[in-house]
Structure 1
Amino acid sequence: MRGAGRREAGVINRSTLRSQIAAALRDEILAGRLATGREFTVKEIAEQYGVSATPVREALVDLAAQGLLDMEQHRGFRVHEFTLDDYRAMCEARQLVAATVFQGCLPEGGPKEPPPPGVVASVRRRAEAAERAARAGDLDVLIAYDLRFWRELCAVSANPYIADFLDRLRVQCWVCAVPLLRERASLKGDLWAGHTALLEALLRGDEAETGRILADYHAHALTLM
């Protein structure tokens, strides 16, 4: 029994390490520190983080499954290069999935029972922080709070599988956008900052306003790129 316990603990620890490495590498890609087209090996990442190869390989396979990395036979991995056509297609998919998510919040006859006040307060804090970063043109802070905002908002209203899919699309859109956005001298005032307005429209059960904000967000993303 003790041996079984040790094996179980090892599996849990490896799984946690795998998730942590995947999250850290995803942040590196989003920040542009792992640049588009960059090639690397499992050994290189394992040495960088001071861990064994197994959880690193598993983390990299997870990121490849999310479309962020390409697996190159006998060579390792490469940060995926998205095109503008990819970006347009991902934005269209993101818009459709988001509309599906939030239609579930707004059934005919008014909104569902509102989420607990503590949950709303947390989502609102994310929205306000994202908006401040957007207006200031602080891309790194915006990405972090924007992703958290949408994750928390979807967790309140969506089927978890749909919410997870939307989160993956959002990460892919940011990964595609970041290299181009960083080429600009300033992003101050150019980034979308409608997070609080979207939250308030959803809380009111205002389907028309929610749809208008999502459509504006979609158009803004395409125009900016």
Structure 2
Amino acid sequence: MEPTRTESAISVAATAVRAAPVPERPPLPVRPRSLPERHSVRAQVLAALRDALASGELAPGETYSAPALAERYGVSATPVREAMQRLAGEGIVETLPNRGFRVAGHSPRDFAELAEVRASLEVPAVLRLARSLPPERWEELRPLAEATVTAATVGDRAAYAEADRGFHRELLRLTGNRHLVAVAEDLHRKAQCPVLHRPLPGTAELLADALEHTALLDALRAGDLVTAERLAREHLTGL
């Protein structure tokens, strides 16, 4: 049977469609580079502010505006505000509407309470590890302990604060408990804030604190749990 005119037209149209070139898809939109750059700047500003707080460059009780800090660090005010909001969430600074941010120094009671909570979390964790880890595992932390001694020897409070957190963070990571690590580090950051009406620790105090890290590792490696518990508690509470 001969195809009808309609069937012939449909066949011709179908052939033309199959032969037609497939149009190229438009390229996917490229995410603007400003987004990662902005987060990178904010992270750098946050790190710089933490160092300034640890070193005493930003003093407890003093108020700082975002524009003034932005000028100091050579950035716009936006990443400074974002970094300061992060510190406000951690309780390290206070937001003052239309004025800026005030560094929230601890009272001696605040410091003692933070130390007590840290000890209640970290000392039992260290003792549990001491009963299960082989002695050689403690040597993995030796470079971190030595980094605190190096920073303390030159009196670099900002470097010491970072190295100190690193030692305690990696120590607690041996437990495998991510939540414990996160909570303990948050408390540790708060404990590193200056105490009101108390001078910042000098080189001798930093060095004494740093040497407690190496002494603790020595006791843990030797399996001396009594000494390890005493050292860990004294290190965290200062008692």
Q: How high is the TM-score relative to the length of structure 2? A: 0.73
Equivalent residue in structure 2 for 1:54, among 78, 102, 106: 78
SS at 1:197 equivalent: helix
Q: Structure 1 pair 13/91, CA: closer, same or farther in 2 (3 Å)?
A: same
Q: Equivalent residue for 1:211?
A: 229
Q: Within 1, Cα distance between the matches of 2:188 and 2:125?
A: 14
Give the Cα–Cα distance (whole angstroms) in 1 for the partners of residues 101 and 83 of structure 2: 11
| TM-aligned CA deviation for residue 111 of structure 1 | 1.4
For 2:46 and 2:177, the matched residues in 1 are separated by 23
Alignment: residue pair count? 211
Partner of 1:191: 208
Give structure 1 stretches of 5+ with no counterpart. none
Alpha-carbon RMSD across the aligned residues, in angstroms, is: 3.1
1:50 and 1:139, CA in 2 relative to 1: closer, same or farther beyond 3 A?
A: closer
How far off its partner does 1:53 sit?
A: 2.7
Q: Residues 122-177 of structure 1: CA distance to partner in whole angstroms, max 9, x if unpaired? A: x212212424655x583625434322222232233342232122222222222234
C-alpha displacement at 1:84, in angstroms? 0.6
1:81 to 2:105 alignment: yes
Unaligned runs of 5+ in 2: 1-26
**Does the residue aligned with 2:95 lie in a helix, a strand or coil?**
strand
Q: 1:187 to 1:69 in 2, by over 3 A?
A: same
Partner residue, 1:111: 132
Q: Taking structure 1 as reference, are residues 12 and 204 closer, same or farther at Cα in structure 2, changes over 3 Å only? A: farther
Q: Choose 40-49 or 136-145, whichever is displaced more.
A: 136-145
In the superposition, relative to structure 1, how do residues 189 and 66 fare at CA in structure 2: closer, same or farther (>3 Å)? closer
> What SS does the aligned partner of 1:34 have?
coil
SS, match of residue 70 in structure 1: strand
- Name 2:190's counterpart in structure 1: 172
Cα deviation code 1:32-75 (max 9, x no counterpart): 00011121122222222222333222111111111111011222
Work out whether residues 64 and 71 of structure 1, in 8 Å CA contact, stay in contact via their aligned partners in 2.
Answer: yes
Say yes or no: does 1:45 pair with 2:69.
yes
- Which of 16, 25, 31 pairs up with 1:6? 31
* CA deviation profile, 1:92-134 (whole Å, cap 9, x unmatched): 011112124324524xxx41467879xx44x212212424655
Provide closer, same or farther for how the CA distance between residues 99 and 20 of structure 1 changes in structure 2, counting only shifts above 3 A: same
The structural deviation recorded for 1:181 is 3.7
Is the Cα contact below 8 Å between 1:130 and 1:142 reproduced in 2?
yes
> For the residues of structure 1 that align with 2:181 and 2:121, how far apart are their CA atoms?
9
8 Å contact from structure 1 (residues 105, 202) kept in 2: no
Matched to 1:170, the amino acid is: H
Q: 2:181 aligns with which of 163, 168, 179?
A: 163
Q: Percent identity at matched positions? A: 29
The residue number in structure 2 matching 1:153 is: 171
Distance 2:35 2:171 in 1: 32
Distance, in Å, in 2 between the alignment partners of 1:174 and 1:69 is 13
Query: TM-score, normalized by length of structure 1?
Result: 0.77
Which residue identity does 2:117 align to in structure 1?
A
